[in-house]
Amino acid sequence: MPKHKTRSSAKRRFKITSSGKIRREHSNFRHILEKKSSSRKRRLGSETAVSPNDEARVRRMLQG
């Protein structure tokens, strides 16, 4: 059987930590930043964990 390829979009968007959790960036942090408050921009600039509901789907996309 042929090998499975990793989804290119997923490998750019997600990182797996050493403990096995999947991290992602927040949305709404690319442009139109002037009208967003400083505290909101600080929060959006950090990474967060992928939702447990989506974790299995993301792992399937990342398996290569």
**Can you give the residue ranges of every domain in the chain?**
8-62
**In this structure, are residues 25 and 15 in contact, taking their beta carbons and an 8 Å threshold?**
no
pTM attached to this predicted model:
0.83
**Tens-digit pLDDT string for the chain (64 aa):** 888 899 999 999 999 999 999 999 999 999 999 999 999 999 999 999 999 999 999 999 999 7
> For the structural domain made of 8-62, what CATH number should be given?
4.10.410.60
56 Ramachandran zone, left/alpha/beta (phi>0; psi -120 to 50): alpha
